[in-house]
Structure 1
């Protein structure tokens, strides 16, 4: 693929910064980025994709990729440093994270590049930010950092089941349900690890880092802890109580709410849908084989029409409150994917808030209106932000942070 010099760029530019991969077109999510490029043209923006490794600091330019419909292929060109940056970087290594942080700092120091939104940190940091708001505290599950084996054992003394979540994980990868099967159960060999958990003192099920299902039984706490230390490695984990976030048939589900800034810089609820896990799955992520359904009909089937209306009203209220709470103490955001759980008693829990959300759920639903809004809103907000004469205070990096892990 040839690289040509782009001598003149008309209009303002928006660079989609993403993680570099191998290949002639070195990034994933090409379909999403292709649609953003086409959408940007309708709004008078030149949109291109780049990675931190593609920046030439000495010449203040970047290797960017655009999709050319006439050629039906991606073309790489030199672009000036973008006027605005839409951050879609995800990380799996410390090196990728370090390159990203360095590149973003230099971008913001060299010229007044506008970042559409500052990535949120890990789950624990987000939990602490939400805890500051009194109106949100009743909806946040008790959470603690898993600092040692003793932490988990203390939780299991008080509860029959707990959930372990990686701080920087996504798509249900690495999430585990740890259950104390019976306090009076006969102990078996400390080395016993079996798929049949019926005779085990402890059981674990969930998904590994490759999103494969796992299920093990352990005869005692020592065997459980040995396995967990190997599984978690050096990754940071959180511990939470096990919440009954499933329907009457035992299938896990959650409610995904997508909120975004619009063309006037105001927060709007783009859409809301239910993600239901594959039978027996602990989480409801679509990447784990789940399915999507419109929130209203699903909740009405589980709780009845009147309760479903109350739940949707409360979910909407929380979706409108959370972005303002986070922006007030974190800095500028452009969009949020908010995951809610609804337990068997109809109580709502805030499970996770993601500043770089996917939007494939609307494709699963074949909801063209919500899908188009989800695509256009970042472009519309970018154009709005570039018309502002003053750079907001949160443009500074003093609040900036992002989890390393995807």
Structure 2
């Protein structure tokens, strides 16, 4: 069987890529698995010639050459460039992962699923009326962009004795720490915030706040990675905890958070038995989420789930990411999980190519049988 050719579709500016270290690892791992792997953007595909200008690492730089049309493409484009969306709709390739949706639409979808809604925090569109309603039911709320990543442009607002305390981070990760005496002044500030922090044409949402201070003074949450394996089955690769800095509204590693094993954090608050129950529930949640996603959007490859665990041990789905990072494993000292998290998407792409070839062979055999019968 010929070497499988796997293309990684992403953002490119000149010879610059958003995740160069990760992409180098993918190309190297692909070689170990007996595949040809290259990186490209939508501008590099030539459908008429069935060729792609692909990039591979060359020391600390990247070199390009013409590659054959890939057997399978993994879409890793986390920053949409002009023309990407139109190109993606053309379905030029066999994709390992279909397109997904924004955070608000995903939250609505999960909230309407009987098997998932118990894990979904209350979430509504951002406006002044909804802010008032949410504060009637919740002491803490989050304002977050429906299409944001990395903990950017998120604010946490808590009702306190003398008003409302706001903690936030801008697009550039600059901190905000403000006290408002009343809801009117808070709302005026937030209206300006959502205008300034808006990402492309996206909107903001208000989400029920959770008490995630399992460690005093630090917000923490779980990042769980679930991926397709080399047999096309969903499997949890691993999970760990992200612990935010003091007065940080989120736990994101880019915003100054640190990594820890799940057990190390949960054991400080719960018994070993309760810890095992919580982790098992998080795994069940992950399998439920990807099942629902594939039912509505088609074949997928991997998902990173941000899961909140409150002081009572209740599990909450904060958000899902179809193109997740995996640096958490390295920061936890789990190089084995990091390597597995890189290998699995390629193993699945190879498996998918084998299945496609088998399907083509079946179709050819049926066609030959039909021709024989017609003779």
TM-score interval, smaller chain: 0.7 to 0.9
| 1:217-252 deviation digits (Å, cap 9, x = unpaired) | 334434323322221115411111221011241210
Offset of 1:89 from its aligned partner? Answer: 0.8
1:264 counterpart (231, 235, 239): 231
Per the alignment, residue 211 of structure 1 pairs with 173
Per the alignment, residue 214 of structure 2 pairs with 247
Per the alignment, residue 401 of structure 1 pairs with none
1:223 counterpart (168, 185, 190): 185
Find the aligned partners of 1:308 and 1:158 in 2 and give their Cα distance: 29
Per the alignment, residue 15 of structure 1 pairs with 7
Contact 1:203/1:218 (8 A) holds in 2: yes
1:160 counterpart (127, 136, 139): 139
Given the two structures, how large is their TM-score scaled by the length of structure 2? 0.88
Find the aligned partners of 1:158 and 1:306 in 2 and give their Cα distance: 32
| 1:137-161 deviation digits (Å, cap 9, x = unpaired) | 1111111122x32221232344333
Contact 2:214/2:266 (8 A) holds in 1: no
Find the aligned partners of 2:83 and 2:209 in 1 and give their Cα distance: 37
Cα 1:73–1:177 change in 2 (3 A) is closer
Cα 1:139–1:332 change in 2 (3 A) is same
Find the aligned partners of 1:378 and 1:294 in 2 and give their Cα distance: 23
Runs ≥4 in structure 1, deviation > 4 angstroms? none
Given the two structures, how large is their TM-score scaled by the length of structure 1? 0.82
Aligned length: 352
Per the alignment, residue 51 of structure 2 pairs with 61
1:46 counterpart (29, 36, 56): 36
Offset of 1:58 from its aligned partner? Answer: 4.7
Asked if 1:89 corresponds to 2:51, the answer is no
Higher alpha-carbon deviation: 209-218 or 347-356: 209-218
| 1:104-136 deviation digits (Å, cap 9, x = unpaired) | 223x24xxx211111321111211222343221
Contact 2:222/2:239 (8 A) holds in 1: yes
Contact 2:232/2:352 (8 A) holds in 1: yes
Cα 1:305–1:129 change in 2 (3 A) is same
Correspondence list, 1:135-214, <5 A: 135-146=115-126, 148-182=127-161, 201-214=163-176
Contact 2:7/2:38 (8 A) holds in 1: yes
Offset of 1:57 from its aligned partner? Answer: 4.4
Per the alignment, residue 6 of structure 1 pairs with none
Find the aligned partners of 2:188 and 2:151 in 1 and give their Cα distance: 22
Q: Which runs of 5+ in 1 are unaligned?
A: 1-9, 183-198, 392-406
Cα 1:149–1:265 change in 2 (3 A) is same
| 1:70-121 deviation digits (Å, cap 9, x = unpaired) | x5642111223322111111226xxx2x511112223x24xxx211111321
Offset of 1:292 from its aligned partner? Answer: 0.8
SS in 2 for 1:115: coil
Contact 1:129/1:329 (8 A) holds in 2: no
Offset of 1:56 from its aligned partner? Answer: 3.5
SS in 2 for 1:317: helix
1:77 counterpart (65, 78, 84): 65
Contact 1:253/1:283 (8 A) holds in 2: yes
1:122 counterpart (87, 102, 114): 102
Q: CA RMSD in A?
A: 2.0
Q: Which runs of 5+ in 2 are unaligned?
A: 361-375
Contact 1:120/1:354 (8 A) holds in 2: no
Offset of 1:347 from its aligned partner? Answer: 0.8
